[in-house]
């Protein structure tokens, strides 16, 4: 354990010394390392260490919060007092807290700190060489490796004492190709919730080829068309779209804030019957997976939309308490410096029954998206916009030319109602979800599927 | 000893431990922050916190290593120095690695900037809480169409930092910032729109609730009833915040590191026309009013105003000492770092366009129909400073007949960065100091592609 149980008990009692309904101490010790290979050589090796504690006190609707990097008894006591003061409880008296539990299970696998730095660098060199060999048009290659090990401990005034040990590893290749149409970029960045054994399954050469081929294919790309058309999202490619355009609106904090288009829609049809949406924090070794959430609640598999019917939102402790129910294990925070809030983990649409090739053959005209960039959504309206970083035209049931600079513009609920074909394949992608200035690791996934109509904004005249 | 002096002492003791032939640079910060979120008329969260951290760079045998820690505890600092040394062993040699010498750092005078307003220290928590609650209440009641307030926030920070190196660099800085904002939700029978309003300054007293109120109400209510218009080619005018986003995308094209790696749009274009004649763009961290102002850069080199484009002609790339050595030129004092967790890279601090004499309505006179762009979405995915592609989601209002007409939504606007720079036909007088450091102003472009229905 990072902090002895009796110290946590004392800190919690102190946090409640000015009154309060709930107090929590979250302790974290995180080590990270990264290496970047750029311009054909090792450019940067970085190591980071972050440790500290965040203490919160809840009084009614108000949360008082303080954090400190000083884990001494005096540092923790000062932070507990600051959180209590910030919560402005107005009450007082003594409350003792008795904790039961342990520090959780230690991470398994090949711990990144046990791996020689030279072994990490060798991966970068291999990926760089492979990317450059794809085409003479590849002008520059940037490869990076990143790992982190985050040990956390959580204790709260309900008597909970628990912890987790999370290891993540990610590999990224970015290529620039240069041709008659100017420079084009291609990127691929897989990651998993596991240690260095990640590279037993993931072939860095194939990651490099994918990124390089993406940049090269864009050299021959024509400007994307504009207007309303069918959009086919390749397996994996569109998960981020549903994460943004649908997932965020299902977060209970946004619903309670009247900032969700899905408010008051439980039990109603919000999507095509072909659409089921699941958020699953237990998905083995995925980027958004953990044994417990950052409030100590066990991770769960939550069905949010079942065959088009809205079944539930996602919840953290605060929002769940307010609604008199239990948390769904979706309380997450970026670091001990941040307050937890409702966040997604691994959000996906499960596979359907149609052969993906059949979906393309059945599309007269539209675009085929193989990779989407980031996107943005206004959760109050459901309006979204997404960039297509690898896409192709579909003409008469066939994938024809690559397109560049396409944007998808639409509305979440509308697009989910317009899903008219769902493939029998499936893939996930790794990402960082940003919300209120906090980034947390998530994944998203989906089978190949078609949205019958979406607005495509391109530059073709 | 004041706080930044104690940080300097720590940095100097680390730098002083450099062995023969080894260069060490240490950068340390300590900050105090308050953050208040109001929702539904109540304090939703109130956070008070102190943070500190250190970043250590070691250069030995032309190899560089870096490590950081979010703690100034002696054992952690010692480990961090050890990690930085270890990382240097595994990196590859590069003759251009090096710490800045004193002569380079002091070639220009450090601008004398007052970035610290001690009044902020004197404001008690209750006053800040009352301010946030009152702001929330006022936004709520500001207009019959304001249905709710998505969030109201007050935040401030006092940041002290120090930098020292074994080359004799020793510098300290401190700055304050206070900001408040609100996101209003406006609604009518069949539409909901949100609008953001903010105010920012160096002291609590600089904040102007009236400005926040007016901005949040105007920006939310004027979009009510927005429809998707048919696509076409159209002149556009960017709101100052949208201009800041556009300049943000463009900024990497001036980056000396991007240039050296062949990733700049402006490669080999110095002295050439890259924008319309009316465009003069400067990176100026020497204006204390800008939130991006700084006396010295991340390597301790004095900051100065760097003209990037003058009357449409490209002047220079920006450099830190490393990229300057590689490009065989001088540093422009443009080393930046994202806090103690990163090595000094190259970046802009406070981009600004030379402003004009006209307001947006006067600016568009004579252009028939113009799309006023209030906000853009999807900048990260829809823009690419290397290929120059620019295609983003947008919302705004059509301008016609000397005024603002119907609002529009669910559109994208697209062009390329080079075309956009040449399409600029007017720059407004509405200079706005923005939280990110960029100084925004309205910009009129004579053509972009708008896609809609």
ipTM confidence: 0.84
Distance from B450 to chain A by nearest Cα, in Å? 8
Residue A91 confidence (pLDDT) above 70: no
Between the alpha carbon of residue B358 and those of residues A279, A330, B156, B431, B443, the distances in Å are 52, 50, 34, 11, 11
What does the domain layout of chain A look like in residue ranges? 5-219, 223-457
- Residue B441: left (phi > 0), alpha (psi -120 to 50), or beta? beta
Confidence of residue A92 (pLDDT cuts 50, 70, 90): low
Other C-beta atoms closer than 10 Å to the C-beta of A291 total: 16
Cα gap A398→A376, rounded to integer Å: 30
Residue with tokens 């053959």: A361
Residue with tokens 């495509």: A456
Those of residues 115-154 in A touching chain B at CB distance below 8 A are 117-118, 121, 139-140
Kindly report, residue by residue over A389-412, the tens digit of the pLDDT.
Answer: 899 999 999 999 999 878 898 899
Confidence of residue A383 (pLDDT cuts 50, 70, 90): confident
Percent of chain A whose pLDDT exceeds 70: 98
Q: Which residues are paired to A65 by β-bridges?
A: A56, B47
**What's the pLDDT score for residue A111?**
92
Other C-beta atoms closer than 10 Å to the C-beta of B211 total: 14
Angle subtended by helix axes B74-90 and A117-134, to nearest 10: 40
Among the residue ranges A306-320, A325-339, B327-341, B378-392, the one predicted with the least confidence is B378-392
Superfamily of domain covering A5-219: PmbA/TldD superfamily (3.30.2290.10)
Low-confidence stretches of chain B (pLDDT beneath 50): none
Backbone angles phi, psi at B408, to 5 degrees: -130, 150
Answer whether B65 touches A (CB < 8 Å).
Answer: yes
**Contact between A50 and B228 using a beta-carbon 8 Å cutoff:** no
Kindly report, residue by residue over A404-449, the tens digit of the pLDDT.
Answer: 878 898 899 999 999 999 999 999 999 999 998 899 999 999 999 9
Confidence of residue A40 (pLDDT cuts 50, 70, 90): confident
CB B59 within 8 A of CB B99: yes
Q: Which residue of A258, A380, A459 is in closest CB contact with B391?
A: A459
Kindly report, residue by residue over A160-178, the tens digit of the pLDDT.
Answer: 999 999 999 999 999 999 9
**Contact between B46 and A461 using a beta-carbon 8 Å cutoff:** no
**Contact between A405 and B391 using a beta-carbon 8 Å cutoff:** yes
Answer whether B44 touches A (CB < 8 Å).
Answer: yes
**What's the pLDDT score for residue A103?**
79
Q: Where do the domains of chain B lie, and which CATH numbers do they carry?
A: 3-221 (3.30.2290.10), 232-451 (no CATH)
Kindly report, residue by residue over A110-152, the tens digit of the pLDDT.
Answer: 999 899 999 999 999 999 999 999 999 999 999 999 999 999 9
- The H or E element that residue A138 is part of is strand A138-156
Cβ neighbours of B448 in A, within 8 Å: none
Confidence of residue A93 (pLDDT cuts 50, 70, 90): low
**What's the pLDDT score for residue B189?**
84
Mean pLDDT of A358-364: 97
**What's the pLDDT score for residue A461?**
61
Confidence of residue A90 (pLDDT cuts 50, 70, 90): low
Cβ neighbours of B393 in A, within 8 Å: 376, 383-385, 407, 409, 457
Q: Tell me how far the alpha carbon of residue A415 is from its chain's centroid.
A: 21
Give Dmax over CA atoms of chain A in angstroms: 75
Which residues, other chains included, contact B42 with Cβ-Cβ below 8 Å and sequence gap of 6+?
A60, A61, A62
Cβ neighbours of A82 in B, within 8 Å: 48
Residue A313 confidence (pLDDT) above 70: yes
């Amino acid at each position: 354990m990072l902090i002895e149980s009796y110290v946590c008990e004392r800190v919690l009692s102190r946090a409640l010394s000015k009154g309060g309904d709930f107090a929590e101490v979250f302790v974290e010790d995180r080590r990270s390392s990264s290496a970047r290979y750029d311009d054909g050589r090792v450019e940067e090796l970085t190591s980071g260490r972050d440790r500290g504690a965040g203490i919160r006190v809840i009084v009614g609707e108000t949360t008082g919060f303080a954090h400190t990097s000083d884990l001494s008894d005096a540092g923790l006591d000062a932070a507990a007092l600051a959180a209590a003061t910030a919560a402005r409880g107005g009450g007082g008296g003594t409350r003792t807290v008795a904790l039961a539990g342990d520090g959780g299970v230690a991470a398994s696998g090949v711990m990144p700190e046990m791996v020689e730095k030279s072994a990490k660098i060798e991966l970068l060199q291999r990926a760089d060489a492979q990317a450059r060999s794809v085409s003479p048009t590849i002008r520059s290659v940037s490869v990076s490796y990143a790992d982190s090990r985050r040990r956390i401990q959580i204790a709260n005034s309900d008597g909970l004492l628990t912890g987790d040990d999370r290891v993540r590893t990610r590999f990224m290749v970015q290529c620039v190709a240069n041709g008659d149409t100017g420079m084009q970029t291609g990127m691929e960045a897989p990651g998993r919730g596991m240690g260095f054994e990640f590279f037993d399954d993931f072939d860095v050469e194939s990651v490099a080829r994918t990124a390089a081929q993406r940049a090269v294919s864009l050299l021959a790309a024509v400007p994307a068309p504009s207007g309303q058309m069918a959009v086919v999202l390749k397996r994996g490619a569109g998960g981020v779209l549903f994460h943004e355009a649908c997932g965020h609106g299902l977060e209970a904090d946004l619903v309670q804030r009247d900032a969700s288009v899905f408010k008051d829609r439980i039990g109603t049809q919000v999507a095509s019957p072909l659409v089921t949406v699941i958020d699953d924090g237990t998905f083995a070794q995925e980027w958004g997976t953990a044994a417990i959430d950052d409030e100590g609640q066990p991770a769960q598999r939550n069905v949010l939309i079942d065959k088009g019917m809205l079944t539930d939102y996602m919840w953290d402790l605060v929002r769940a308490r307010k609604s008199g129910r239990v948390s769904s294990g979706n309380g997450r925070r970026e670091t001990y410096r941040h307050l937890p809030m409702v966040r997604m983990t691994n959000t996906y649409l499960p596979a359907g029954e149609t052969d993906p090739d059949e979906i393309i053959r059945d599309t007269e005209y539209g675009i085929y998206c193989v990779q989407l960039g980031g996107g943005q959504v206004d959760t109050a309206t459901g309006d979204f916009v997404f960039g297509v970083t690898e896409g192709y035209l579909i003409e008469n049931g066939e994938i024809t030319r690559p397109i560049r600079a396409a944007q998808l513009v639409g509305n979440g609920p509308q697009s989910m109602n317009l899903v008219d074909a769902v493939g029998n394949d499936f893939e996930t992608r790794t990402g960082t979800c940003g919300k209120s200035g906090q980034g947390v690791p998530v994944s998203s996934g989906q089978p190949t599927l078609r949205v019958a109509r979406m607005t495509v904004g391109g530059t073709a005249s | 000893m004041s706080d930044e002096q104690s940080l300097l002492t720590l940095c100097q003791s680390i730098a002083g431990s450099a062995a023969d032939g080894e260069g060490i640079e240490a950068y340390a910060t300590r900050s105090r922050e308050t953050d208040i979120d109001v929702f539904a008329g109540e304090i939703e969260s109130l956070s008070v916190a102190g943070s500190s951290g250190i970043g250590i760079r070691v250069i030995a045998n032309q190899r560089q290593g870096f490590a950081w820690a979010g703690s100034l505890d002696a054992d952690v600092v010692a480990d961090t120095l050890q990690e930085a040394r270890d990382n240097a062993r595994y990196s590859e040699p590069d003759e251009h690695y090096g710490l800045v010498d004193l002569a380079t750092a002091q070639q220009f005078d450090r601008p004398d900037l007052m970035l610290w307003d001690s009044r902020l220290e004197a404001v008690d928590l209750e006053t800040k809480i009352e301010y946030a609650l009152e702001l929330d209440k006022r936004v709520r009641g500001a207009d019959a169409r304001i249905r709710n307030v998505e969030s109201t926030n007050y935040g401030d920070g006092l940041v002290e930092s120090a930098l020292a190196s074994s080359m004799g660099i020793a510098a300290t800085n401190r700055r304050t910032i206070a900001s408040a904002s609100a996101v209003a939700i406006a609604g009518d029978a069949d539409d909901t729109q949100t609008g953001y309003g903010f105010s920012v300054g160096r002291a609590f007293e600089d904040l102007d609730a009236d400005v926040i109120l007016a901005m949040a109400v105007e920006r939310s209510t004027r979009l009510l009833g927005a429809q998707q218009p048919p696509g076409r080619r159209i002149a556009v005018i960017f709101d100052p915040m949208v201009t800041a986003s556009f300049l943000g995308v463009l900024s990497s094209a001036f980056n000396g590191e991007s240039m050296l790696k062949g990733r700049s749009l402006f490669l080999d274009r110095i002295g050439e026309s890259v924008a319309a004649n009316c465009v003069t763009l400067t990176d100026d961290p020497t204006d204390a009013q800008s939130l991006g102002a700084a006396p010295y850069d991340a390597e301790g080199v004095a900051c100065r105003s760097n003209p990037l484009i003058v009357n449409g002609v490209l002047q220079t790339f920006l450099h830190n000492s490393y990229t300057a050595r590689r490009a065989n030129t001088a540093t422009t004092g443009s080393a930046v770092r994202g806090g103690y967790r990163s090595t000094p890279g190259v970046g802009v601090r406070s981009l600004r366009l030379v402003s004009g004499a006209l307001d947006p309505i006067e600016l568009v006179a004579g252009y028939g129909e113009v799309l006023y762009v209030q906000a853009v979405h999807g900048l990260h995915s829809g823009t690419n400073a290397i290929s120059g592609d620019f295609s983003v989601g947008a919302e705004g209002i059509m301008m016609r007949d000397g005024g603002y007409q119907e609002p529009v939504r669910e559109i994208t606007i697209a062009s390329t960065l080079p075309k956009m720079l040449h399409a600029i036909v007017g720059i407004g007088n509405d200079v706005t100091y923005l939280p990110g450091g960029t100084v925004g102003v309205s910009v009129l472009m004579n053509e972009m592609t708008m896609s809609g229905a």
